[in-house]
A and B are shown apart, each in its own frame.
Chain A
């Protein structure tokens, strides 16, 4: 079973050891998940850290019913969604005050790709981004976004058809 070593440590109440294994095993995946949702490296790293701190605080309550990774991904998704809501409020406040919102350190994708991705529906943008960041693993994307694999493929295919229509003229060699 995946993470059986982590579960064994948790059953023994050795939370620090379990946490170290989880941190080492999942920090990059969780960071990519946060990047796919927030599209901003600095905020994604903050959300990843917050997610691990929340996981640490909740570890003694872990009952083993769901996989640790499933639990961690859910925590980080919720943390990111809270960050998105906070950012939306801040942007609205800036607009009311007539100030420019601060520039974000986005993923270093070319402007043309970023513009096209930004035009996709939110969930398609997340699926496409995570699919490529996660080295084309539909299974990983499915687990990380808590979507069935068929739904991930369906979002990917729809997004690719849409992107191809928009990009046909720009990208053809």
Chain B
């Protein structure tokens, strides 16, 4: 069995407390401890420290009102999911309405229809941006 020096043994003793020692390392460590009083003493003190810390630092519990308290606290900040979709919906609706209006009402050639439809779509887009801004401000 490969010999382990005191420095390595003490590091393995500490790693063992982290719960990360392999069976081979365990065997090497036990072999070292069987003939080293200083490391045996080091291991005893470390186990005592570990036991004391584990005993003293138990997971604390949240109070029963924690969950309801968080839900009450976020109420004034509810998100409106549909606000995020509104620009696309409004834009498509505005552009569609523009084309229908142009085609139905304006006795003009195709180029004029496209120009008129485009202008109305731009106006619809500007209205929609203003509307979204107002809604986001209201939801904050």
**Shortest beta-carbon contacts, A-B, top 4:** A132-B57, A109-B56, A113-B56, A13-B81
Chain A interface size, under 10 / 10 to 19 / 20 to 34 / 35 or more = 35 or more
List the B residue with the shortest CB-CB distance to A161: B14
Is A83 located at the chain interface by the 8 A CB criterion?
A: no
Q: If the complex has contacts A138-B18, A156-B14, are A23 and B67 also in contact, measured as CB distance less than 8 A?
A: yes
Q: Tell me what chain B mostly uses at the interface: helix, strand, loop, or mixed.
A: helix
Q: Tell me what chain A mostly uses at the interface: helix, strand, loop, or mixed.
A: helix
Q: How many residues of B contact A (CB 8 A)?
A: 36
Is B59 located at the chain interface by the 8 A CB criterion?
A: yes
Is B15 located at the chain interface by the 8 A CB criterion?
A: yes
Q: Which of B17, B77, B81 contacts A57 (CB 8 A)?
A: B77
Is A85 located at the chain interface by the 8 A CB criterion?
A: no
List the A residue with the shortest CB-CB distance to B81: A13
Binding site for A on B (CB under 8 A): 11, 14-15, 17-20, 42, 44-46, 48-50, 52-54, 56-63, 66-67, 69-70, 73-74, 77-79, 81, 84
Q: Which of A48, A60, A134, A160 contacts B17 (CB 8 A)?
A: A160
- Cα distance A65–B31 when bound, in Å? 48
- A-B Cβ contacts below 8 A, count: 110
B11 → A minimal CB distance (Å): 7
Q: If the complex has contacts A59-B79, A113-B53, A136-B19, are A160 and B60 also in contact, measured as CB distance less than 8 A?
A: no
- Cα distance A70–B55 when bound, in Å? 29
B43 → A minimal CB distance (Å): 10
Q: Can you pick out 26 interface pairs between chain A and chain B where the beta carbons lie within 8 Å of each other?
A: A27-B66, A28-B59, A41-B60, A49-B70, A52-B74, A53-B70, A59-B79, A113-B52, A113-B53, A128-B57, A132-B57, A133-B59, A133-B60, A134-B59, A138-B20, A153-B18, A157-B15, A160-B14, A163-B49, A164-B42, A164-B46, A164-B49, A167-B48, A167-B52, A171-B48, A172-B45
